[in-house]
Amino acid sequence: MLLVSLCSSAFGTSVLLKWKQSRTKGVTRNCVYYLHPPSGEPQQIYCSTTPTTTYTDHAVLPGHTYHYGVTSLKGIEESKYDKVNVVVK
């Protein structure tokens, strides 16, 4: 199983997501999703071409809450989402 740990910081009108890379050998890339609660479809907003541990979302607006999920990929196998909610003030 692939796991990702998340933390987040909000700076004005951008959100910086940082996570610890999966310890699973062979991780090839990471993907970031908007998760639309409660049961909406996830929307992929970024997928790296190599393993990475950060993503900055510049498309956020003050006063809104954003629900993110990050996955690790090993070939075509994708981990479950690690999730974080961010309130932009």
- Rounded to whole angstroms, how far apart are CA atoms 18 and 5? 8
Split at pLDDT 50, 70, 90, the class of 71 is very high
Q: What domains does the chain contain, in order, with CATH numbers? A: 5-87 (2.60.40.10)
* DSSP per-residue string spanning the chain: ----EEEEEEETTEEEEEEEPP-STT--EEEEEE--TTTPPPEEEEE-SS--SEEEE----TT-EEEEEEEEEETTEEPPPEEEEEE--
pLDDT score, position 69 = 93
The confidence score (pLDDT) of residue 63 equals 84
Model's pTM, two decimal places?
A: 0.84
Q: Taking 60 as the threshold, does the pLDDT of residue 67 lie above it?
A: yes
Q: What is the pLDDT of residue 50?
A: 95
| Paired tokens of 78 | 């994708």
pLDDT digits (tens, 9 = 90+) for 2-59: 334 444 666 557 888 988 898 889 999 999 999 987 677 899 999 999 999 999 888 8
